[in-house]
């Protein structure tokens, strides 16, 4: 079997991973089978089994393949606008039954499979890093205190939405997105997300100069 | 079959739901079977199937039965201490592989079963309401602005921990718990979580008097 980029192996992988996404959207995690993925991809099921023994491995590889695709960070002119846009995108994805099927399957797969867990971790690390660009830019233009932990501000913006969606089962909408972003921003502006201050690194991100002056 | 409280039916239910928890701890969601639950509870499997046709229904009923058990809200003397204690408890639960098996199974079951989804929603609503006592007390003693949405402050305290545990797969520890609680508190103190102000109810929790004066 050739392994050169663009060769048969790469085409098979692309077809199988596309089919994995399409099957997830149509049937969800519990309805996903290697047989159906193979049929949809137009390849023999042994071809799929040889490379992806379980559906969790299919999901992990599909996630890996989408991780490094471009994700354009918003650029609204203010960090508040950017964070609200990031939060709004989560609301939009989960309002669409087709699009929400993928993250739901990923969360389920990661609870059962170490390989899927690693793929999920890598995926969110990559997305956090991409989204953190809006925070780094805001620090540069003095909208936020120097040393603000950019990824932590992204986490705090997204967390209340995922918490409602996956944990409490409460609805999310634009008002929820706006409130999450503003709450996260209030913490950053209060200096609670700084990883260092004028005297050097702080031992814990919650220990700011203000805390130590008390 | 008798249905009087404390009768055979109640004893069977208690035994089956206890067995469900024990099986979840030992085998996790994918290892849970009605047969194993019946064997552990010492009842015939048709007795279990008649009342709980699927493992998702077992999980939902187990969650319902634990929902109204007492959960003592912390009382450390300050709202910051109380919120950190609530966040720390999440860290403690998920540091223990036995204890984390239950919420992990609940999240998985809720993705597949409407009945489990409802049980999860009811469970977290009850816990939020119990935990919100620490916020209501803080408002009474003027630690927080009047009209602070008590449940929303609890959500913002817990969300960053659940986000790391279930979504990004990042570690949680005492420092994470402390930072989550303090960030949530900063938003509340900035008045971002108020549901009403001196002029009456605000249309959205993110619209405070400050916003409307702009």
Residues B47 and B97 in one domain: no
Flag whether A126 is in a domain. yes
Provide the β-strand partners of residue A196.
Answer: A201
Tokens (6 digits) for B188: 């509340």
Residues A105 and A144 in one domain: yes
Q: Which candidate, B18, B49, B35, B30, places its Cα nearest to that of B108?
A: B30
Mean pLDDT of B120-144: 96
Question: Residue A68's pLDDT is what?
Answer: 75
Residues B21 and B111 in one domain: no
Residues B46 and B83 in one domain: no
The predicted complex's ipTM stands at 0.89
CA distance B94 to chain A (A): 13
Flag whether A154 is in a domain. yes
Question: Residue A180's pLDDT is what?
Answer: 98
Question: Residue A5's pLDDT is what?
Answer: 60
Reported as a single tens digit per residue, the pLDDT across A137-172 is 999 999 999 999 999 999 999 999 999 999 999 999
Question: Residue A200's pLDDT is what?
Answer: 57
Tokens (6 digits) for B56: 């998702």
SS3 A204: coil
Q: Mean pLDDT for chain A?
A: 89
What's the rounded Cα separation, in Å, for the pair A15 and A9?
10
Judged by CB atoms closer than 8 Å, whether chains meet at B112 and A168 is answered as no
Count of C-beta atoms within a 10 Å radius of residue B170: 17
Q: How confident is the model at residue A208 (pLDDT cuts 50, 70, 90)?
A: very low
CB proximity B178 to A under 8 Å: yes
B188 and B145 in contact (C-beta within 8 Å)? Answer: yes
State yes or no: pLDDT of B60 exceeds 80. yes
Quote the radius of gyration of chain B (alpha carbons, Å).
20
Reported as a single tens digit per residue, the pLDDT across B156-185 is 999 999 999 999 999 999 999 999 999 999
Flag whether B47 is in a domain. yes
Residues B13 and B119 in one domain: no
- CATH at B28: 1.10.10.60
User: How many domains does chain B divide into?
Assistant: 2
CB contact residues (below 8 A), chain B span 89-128, against chain A: 104, 107-108, 110-112, 117-118, 120-121, 124-125, 128
B118 and B124 in contact (C-beta within 8 Å)? Answer: no
Residues B31 and B95 in one domain: no
State yes or no: pLDDT of A214 exceeds 90. no
Residues B25 and B94 in one domain: no
Reported as a single tens digit per residue, the pLDDT across B91-122 is 999 999 888 999 999 999 998 899 999 999 99
- Which residues are within 8 A (CB) of B173 and not within 5 positions of it... i.e. 6 or more apart? B91
Q: Which of B35-44, B168-177, B193-202 is the least confident region?
A: B193-202
Q: Mean pLDDT for chain B?
A: 89
Reported as a single tens digit per residue, the pLDDT across A61-114 is 999 998 878 788 999 999 999 999 999 999 999 999 888 999 999 999 998 899
Q: Which of A29, A158, A193 sits opposite B163 (nearest CB)?
A: A158
CB proximity B182 to A under 8 Å: yes
Question: Residue B197's pLDDT is what?
Answer: 55
Domain range for residue A153? 79-213
- CATH at B122: 1.10.357.10
What's the rounded Cα separation, in Å, for the pair B159 and A161?
8
Question: Residue A204's pLDDT is what?
Answer: 46
State yes or no: pLDDT of B1 exceeds 50. no
Percent of chain A with pLDDT over 90: 77
């Amino acid at each position: 079997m050739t392994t050169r980029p663009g060769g048969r192996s790469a085409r098979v992988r692309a077809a199988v991973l596309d089919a994995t996404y399409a099957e997830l959207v149509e049937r969800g995690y519990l309805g996903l089978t290697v047989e159906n993925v193979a049929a949809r991809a137009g390849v023999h099921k042994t071809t799929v089994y040889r490379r992806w023994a379980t559906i969790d491995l299919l999901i992990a590889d599909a996630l890996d393949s989408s991780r490094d695709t471009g994700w354009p960070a918003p650029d609204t002119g203010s960090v508040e606008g950017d964070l609200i846009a990031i939060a709004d995108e989560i609301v939009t994805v989960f309002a669409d039954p087709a699009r929400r099927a993928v993250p739901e399957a990923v969360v389920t797969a990661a609870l059962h499979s170490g390989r899927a867990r690693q793929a999920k971790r890598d995926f969110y690390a990559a997305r956090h890093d991409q989204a953190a660009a809006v925070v780094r830019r805001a620090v540069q233009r003095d909208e936020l205190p120097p040393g603000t932990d950019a990824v932590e501000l992204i986490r705090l913006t997204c967390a209340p939405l995922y918490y409602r969606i996956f944990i409490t089962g409460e609805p999310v909408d634009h008002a929820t997105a706006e409130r999450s972003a503003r709450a996260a921003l209030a913490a950053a502006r209060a200096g609670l997300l700084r990883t260092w201050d004028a005297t050097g690194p702080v031992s814990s991100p919650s220990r700011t100069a203000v805390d130590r002056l008390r």
